[in-house]
Amino acid sequence: MFPERLRALRKGQHLTLSDLAENLNEEFNQDAAKTNKNTASQIGNWERGVRKPSYVEVQKLAKFFDVTMDYLTGLAENNTYDLAKLFISDKTLLFNGEQLNSKDRYEIYQLISGYVHGMSSRVEKPGPHVHQEELDLGQS
pLDDT digits (tens, 9 = 90+) for 36-56: 799 999 999 999 999 999 999
Whether 89 maps to a domain, the answer reads yes
pTM of the full structure: 0.55
Residue 88 lies in domain: 83-119
pLDDT digits (tens, 9 = 90+) for 1-38: 899 999 999 999 999 999 999 999 998 876 554 567 99
* Number of domains making up the chain: 2
Asked if residue 61 has pLDDT above 80, the reply is yes
Does 40 share its domain with 98? no
Say whether both 51 and 114 belong to one domain: no
Quickly list DSSP for 10-74. Answer: HHHTT--HHHHHHHHHHHTT--TTTSPPP-HHHHHHHHHTSS---HHHHHHHHHHHT--HHHHHT
CATH number at residue 27: 1.10.260.40
19 in a structural domain: yes
Contact 52, 71 (CB under 8 A): no
In a domain, 137, yes or no: no
